[in-house]
Amino acid sequence: MEKVKKEISIIHPRPSSIVAALYTLRDLDVDVAILHGPPGCSFKHARLLEEDGIHVVTTSLDENGFVFGGHDELVALLDKVSEMFNPKLIGIVGTCVSMIIGEELHDAVLEANPDVPVIEVEVHAGYRNNTKGVLFALESALDAGIISEDEFDRQKVLLEEATIVEKRHGAASKEYLAPSRGDLKYKVAQRIIDLLKEGKRGITIMNAKKETGYMFADVTVAVNEVAKQLGVGSNIVNMANIDDTLGLPRVRHHAKCIAADFKERGIVIHENIGGMDEYPIAGDVAGKLIEEKYSDYDFVIITGVPHAIPMDCIPGMEIISVTNGPRQVLPMKEMGHDHVIVEIDLHPKTLGVNNIVESEFGATLREVAKDL
Amino acid sequence: MGDNRDDKMNDSKKPKIIAIYGKGGIGKSSTASNVAAACADEGYKVMIIGCDPKSDSSITLLGGKRIPTILDLMRSGVDITEDDVVFEGYNGVKCIEVGGPEPGIGCAGRGIIVAIQKLKKISKAQDECDLIIYDVPGDIVCGGFIAPIRKGLVSEAYVLTSGEYMPLYAANNICRGMSKINTPISGVICNARSVSREEEIVHKFAEEMGSDLIAFIPKEQIVQDCERDGFSVMERAPDSEIAQVYRNLARTIMSRNTSVMAKALEDERLRELTR
């Protein structure tokens, strides 16, 4: 019996495992996700996911459901969605209340007996790491024969790495992290332009988590456009995690779309550092490449999950990072990032799209460059 | 003992996993621990899993000692291994206590759910057993208390009752509940309280709901005496008549493979039966 190292008690609100399970079901391309619980549970994300083309519905358990159980409601809803949406794949996600009262998702599935596979995820939001929700969803998908053992093992490793990254320098690194809007975008834009004007050489690294890449890619595009405008286009090296042979189908699709957009806009990605679900490990790949080939570059612009790039691979470089996590600012400043920018509300704008969308920082950079 | 073990092992590789349900205080833990001890005497590998927050299911198999519970250990944040929660009691019976919150606090039902999930993950001992007994709390008051069955762990459910009206009423409710979740009943056991026509009443009850009375355990002071000292009858008074009753019950359970979907009696009929 070994005493586990006492974990810190984090008091700021954090991502939910239920929501993580929902997003994973989306990546698994379910047509309908059923939340078995109260009507308001996970509302904001349930709503957003509808933008991504999946139907999210709820059994809407009320006080009666809490007391008497929600088996009949779940069976009825399974029947209803089968009829309304004609789905090919259904997901069911537990909630705190349905798990506490011991609801058996499987019993309801057996009774409703829909003629399509159902991924049952017994999950609540009481886990320290929200990656648990992803893991449970993948385990159920494996049981239902939706993903292969190999893909499951691969994802499991990535989730463990993601949890470590968040604990080390991310939103799980401190008891309390105040949200911050980061540095002023136009000032940082000005700084990048100055660096380019001085003939300094820079690296862009897009290390994005799945669909968030649709917006982070815009920063890569903007930096290249401005460098080209200043006649120093060749001073920029681009890295991005857009390997379209890795991950679940939907994740590969994002990689394809973003790569196509890069190509159309004449952006050369010199180094493809991994799949779009490999953000916890692609940082190491980028770090190694820099050590081998680009160690004499002057500055680096990292977007997505910038804290996954090891600091000892980029010594002496000026670091500009772009995140969508307001609680990520302080940890990255402490790591030694010189400029940290937050793309507020990035995620909602990257759902349901197939093309790169404009980022606030990209727009700022272009605007400042216009006046040159 | 032990001579015909191999034959028994060949009967089936899968362990027999049973749960005994009945009104609180009717003697489930006494019956469970004596059956466990009797089966161990017969040479079977036995495990008892106490699912009552009071964590007293295995106490008479452990000479009156208490063992750390799964939930207590989980709460303290330690990494639990099998050795931390599985303890050997009388004649090699493996004892486990789920534990739970203080009365009136938190949610004992959820406790059972997480504890048995944990146990499933860390313990391989269950695979080597011939008999596993889940000792569950009296009334199935919420979803958690039915988890051992719902999670597909228990394959046979027995109902324990006396011939008194209230325990029969509870037993009847349990039968109704089991049918509702498609779980058959493997038999009725009477733990007598020495009320009038007791065997006849429970026999009739068992018959009318579609099952059998598989044992009649008479009320004997010696069971109490042994428990007060912290032992089962099998250990403290193996030559007593009541020990033979438990022995017979143990053999019946180990050889039994019939079960029925119970048909609960109407309240009126139940009252008639006991009048």
* DSSP characters over A164-221: HHHHHHSTTSSS------BS-HHHHHHHHHHHHHTT--EEEEEE--GGGHHHHHHHHH
Interface check B146 vs A, CB under 8 A: yes
Backbone φ and ψ of A29, nearest 5°: 65, 40
Tell me what the mean pLDDT of segment B24-34 comes to.
Answer: 94
Q: Which two tokens stand for residue B179?
A: 């049918």
Candidates B72, B113, B154, B178: best to mutate against A (most CBs of A within 10 A) is: B113
Q: Clarify whether B23 is annotated catalytic.
A: yes
Q: What is the pLDDT of residues A338-371, one digit of tens each?
A: 999 999 999 999 999 999 999 999 999 999 999 8
User: Partners of A301 in the beta sheet?
Assistant: A204, A320
Q: How far is CA B83 from the centre of its chain?
A: 23
Q: With a cut of 60, say whether residue B2 has pLDDT above it.
A: no
Average pLDDT, chain B: 90
Q: Band of the pLDDT at B182, cuts 50, 70, 90?
A: confident
Could you say which of B84, B144, B181 has the minimum Cβ distance to residue A1? B84
Q: What is the pLDDT of residues A34-78, one digit of tens each?
A: 999 999 999 999 999 999 999 999 999 999 999 889 999 999 999
B181, A107 Cβ separation under 8 angstroms: yes
* Most confident range, picked from B16-25, B35-44, B98-107: B35-44
Instruction: Single out the residue of A7, A342, A17, A18 nearest to residue A178, CA to CA.
Output: A342
User: Which bin fits A9, alpha (ψ -120 to 50), beta or left (φ > 0)?
Assistant: beta
The pLDDT, as a whole number, for residue A68 is 86
Q: Band of the pLDDT at B10, cuts 50, 70, 90?
A: very low
The pLDDT, as a whole number, for residue B147 is 84
CA-to-CA distance for B87 and A108, rounded, in angstroms?
37
Interface check A100 vs B, CB under 8 A: yes
Contact residues, B window 89-128, toward A, CB-based 8 Å cutoff? 107, 109-110, 113
B150 contacts on A by Cβ (under 8 Å): 102, 104, 107
Q: With a cut of 70, say whether residue B58 has pLDDT above it.
A: yes
Interface check A9 vs B, CB under 8 A: no
Q: Percent of chain A, pLDDT > 70?
A: 98
Interface check B245 vs A, CB under 8 A: no
Closest Cα in chain B to A4? B78
CA-to-CA distance for A238 and B103, rounded, in angstroms?
62
Q: With a cut of 60, say whether residue B43 has pLDDT above it.
A: yes
**B78·A104 Cβ contact <8 A:** no
Look up residue A238 and give its DSSP letter: E
Q: Does an H or E element contain A83, and which?
A: helix A71-85
CA-to-CA distance for A214 and A346, rounded, in angstroms?
9
The pLDDT, as a whole number, for residue B5 is 42
Q: How far is CA A70 from the centre of its chain?
A: 32
Instruction: Single out the residue of A315, A313, A322, A355 nearest to residue A340, CA to CA.
Output: A322
**B109·A3 Cβ contact <8 A:** no
- Number of residues written out for chain A: 372
The pLDDT, as a whole number, for residue B54 is 84
CA-to-CA distance for A87 and A116, rounded, in angstroms?
8
Q: With a cut of 70, say whether residue A314 has pLDDT above it.
A: yes
CA-to-CA distance for B33 and B12, rounded, in angstroms?
23
- Residue A3: CB partners within 8 Å, gap ≥ 6? B77, B78, B79
Q: What is the pLDDT of residues A284-305, one digit of tens each?
A: 999 999 999 999 999 999 999 9
Tell me what the mean pLDDT of segment B35-39 comes to.
Answer: 98
Closest Cα in chain B to A108? B181
**A102·B146 Cβ contact <8 A:** yes
Give the 3-state secondary structure of residue B3: coil
**A104·B113 Cβ contact <8 A:** no
B142 contacts on A by Cβ (under 8 Å): 101-102
Q: With a cut of 60, say whether residue A1 has pLDDT above it.
A: no
Residue A349 vs residues A48, A189, A360, A367, B244: alpha-carbon distances, Å:
9, 22, 12, 21, 75
**B143·A69 Cβ contact <8 A:** yes
Longest dimension (CA), chain B: 55
Mind telling me how many Å the CA of A336 is from chain B's nearest CA? 34
User: Partners of A318 in the beta sheet?
Assistant: A299
Closest Cα in chain A to B148? A102
CA-to-CA distance for A139 and B26, rounded, in angstroms?
41
Closest Cα in chain A to B111? A100
CA-to-CA distance for A185 and A169, rounded, in angstroms?
23
Question: Which residue's entry shows tokens 């000479």?
Answer: B63
Could you say which of B83, B84, B142 has the minimum Cβ distance to residue A102? B142
Give the 3-state secondary structure of residue A367: helix
Closest Cα in chain B to A67? B142
CA-to-CA distance for A20 and A37, rounded, in angstroms?
16
Q: Band of the pLDDT at A20, cuts 50, 70, 90?
A: very high
H-type helices in chain B, by residue range?
5-11, 28-41, 70-75, 82-85, 108-122, 147-150, 165-180, 198-208, 221-229, 233-236, 241-255, 267-274
Mind telling me how many Å the CA of A97 is from chain B's nearest CA? 11
CA-to-CA distance for B237 and B247, rounded, in angstroms?
12
Average pLDDT, chain A: 96
Backbone φ and ψ of B22, nearest 5°: 170, 170
Q: Homologous superfamily of A17-147 in CATH?
A: Nitrogenase molybdenum iron protein domain (3.40.50.1980)
Q: Band of the pLDDT at B1, cuts 50, 70, 90?
A: very low
SS3 percent helix, strand, coil of chain B, rounded to 5, is 45, 15, 40
A4 contacts on B by Cβ (under 8 Å): 77-79
Q: How far is CA B61 from the centre of its chain?
A: 14
**A102·B107 Cβ contact <8 A:** no
Interface check B150 vs A, CB under 8 A: yes
The pLDDT, as a whole number, for residue B13 is 66
Give the DSSP letter string of B138-161. SS--SGGGGHHHHTT---EEEEEE
Look up residue B77 and give its DSSP letter: T
Could you say which of A1, A6, A102 has the minimum Cβ distance to residue B147? A102
Give the 3-state secondary structure of residue A340: strand
Could you say which of B78, B110, B146 has the minimum Cβ distance to residue A3? B78
Q: Clarify whether B54 is annotated catalytic.
A: yes
CA-to-CA distance for A208 and B7, rounded, in angstroms?
62
Interface check B80 vs A, CB under 8 A: yes
Domain positions in chain A: 17-147, 185-371
The ipTM of this complex is 0.73
Interface check B147 vs A, CB under 8 A: yes
The pLDDT, as a whole number, for residue B132 is 96
Q: Band of the pLDDT at A6, cuts 50, 70, 90?
A: low
A69 contacts on B by Cβ (under 8 Å): 143
Q: Band of the pLDDT at B275, cuts 50, 70, 90?
A: confident
Look up residue A326 and give its DSSP letter: G
Q: Which residue of the set B54, B72, B84, B219 is catalytic?
A: B54
Question: Which residue's entry shows tokens 């996993």?
Answer: B17
Longest dimension (CA), chain A: 71
First CA to last CA distance, chain A: 66
Closest Cα in chain B to A96? B110
Tell me what the mean pLDDT of segment A264-269 comes to.
Answer: 98
Higher-confidence position of A139 and B139? A139
Interface check A367 vs B, CB under 8 A: no
Q: Band of the pLDDT at B3, cuts 50, 70, 90?
A: very low
Q: How far is CA B251 from the centre of its chain?
A: 15
Interface check A3 vs B, CB under 8 A: yes
Q: Which of A56-65, A72-81, A144-153, B74-83 has the lowest mean pLDDT?
A: B74-83
Mind telling me how many Å the CA of A106 is from chain B's nearest CA? 10
Assigned fold of A185-371: Rossmann fold (3.40.50)
